[in-house]
Structure 1
């Protein structure tokens, strides 16, 4: 059995790790010229679904590294006003965070020869005798395999052909997301699980990414890991409703917008914005994809944001993509072992994935609703 995967994001790389470990031939094709070609995102909350998927798919030798690059989150979710006076707190919680960029490098460990960068997927065609031929623009022209997996994100070119009736929905909500190197001054803003700072109109959410072991230290002990150099940081988010007047200001940069929104706030909060890493701070449109009608059965399927892209307010997008990878891996192992025909395995995966993927998107949109209200109602 041979599997072609389009997209070297978290889900695609997790899948190829799991399949290669199971002795199933699998290769990832990625349009970007390299792993550092563009913005990689921020920390994610790693829940049980995502963590168990990673541990199932990664070689055991990498499990200690996975544990080392996590960050622990514990304590109250503190609420402060814009003068940094405490206004309340939510219940204490325990969780684990992990940096998306570092995790993506970890998922590349040991499989570099099976990840082809610089190959943009252009289309596919089912083969008369079974299987599928995928076409690319780049180093590869075409490749035949038994199964094609679209793991190519919210703008999926595989989904565009397989399920063109599945739309990308723009919520209208915009998110200012920043990353600021952690100092003692900034760490004091987040004494527990996380902190929300609000003036009654604008809310800024702060969270820590404090690695258990810095990636650079791990590289010094095991250079073959090739993890990116990364330090502890503060991740901050400001969500804006669709009608917010500042969105019409085309003359302002992302950080200028954030500073405009927090005019008159405590100097420590303003400094978080001023000191942010400009290469890792962006204004994002919150878009989602939810599975529509089931596409025709065949040798092509989807995983992750390609079929169920969630709002970041749900905190479940990456975890669901990693879960997809593990579930599809398990079904394909059943094919390898002669327990299921490939068509039945893919059908079983899609049936479950569409069900929980739809709920993941719905959950994230419920969490997003409070940011969609007109300014006068907030």
Structure 2
């Protein structure tokens, strides 16, 4: 069992903690919006997701983690998708070289965040991600949700036609030739005139290639790869605990594994857990042989290591990542909660390149 590093909260401390909560009420669309310095959380994240009643995030300056305020994420049910902090966002300084017309074109294509800070390119470099995780006593067998995830950054201007052909456009071409005839919702194309699905799809990200989840009574890590240049939503693959995988999608373009899982009942509650990830994001390209998609072997160069309270609990290598041009970025909070709702506390996120490749 992973031992806790902090003492449990007493009842009196819990009451004081509730009084110290300060709700964060702004949200951003990181694909299209510019963030000002005073809106950035802890200097490296911005809030995204729902502002509806019952879906909240609070800053807590009393229950701190390594000198940082903690953040309590709370969703009452599954009627909303997310309340998270994103490490990827764009400031005015990031796009000061763009003309107003260029900015508007990126906003129209939902690609302004390509110029943002916080993204990680795919290479053989190791990236380190650290933060504090607090599992509340309310988590149980019914609890469900993603509490940390890494998301792909698609180019937003590559489409798959109804016949399966992949077409890459420049930004100006995409706006003038594609968006003049159709619009996209969750990556699916709709005709502007008829308002119905037209068979086109756009490169828009797909499933998160790496996620820390709660579900089926477990805390577990889910690792995915998607070799499609534009993700194929009809070729789905899922895997729930206690199954570990790996599992291949029906068309053979996607994989999933659950290389780490631990019963919630065996993990410390109401105390901080130090989380440290070391990840290598491999590059990949979709290739074709006689029109059949062939997995690029470089995807096998992915690596995920995880320490919890300085105990290594995962050392995994295999297929990892999406076939995206711009790499990945990190988010934590709550995504896709179960019907009974969920809450989680997180704090102190940092990411950096590992300079010493021999260091464990």
TM-score of the two chains, using structure 1 as the length reference: 0.22
- Structure with a larger share of its residues in helix: 1
Higher fraction of strand: 2
Q: Greater relative contact order: 1 or 2 (C-alpha under 8 angstroms, separation 6 or more)?
A: 2
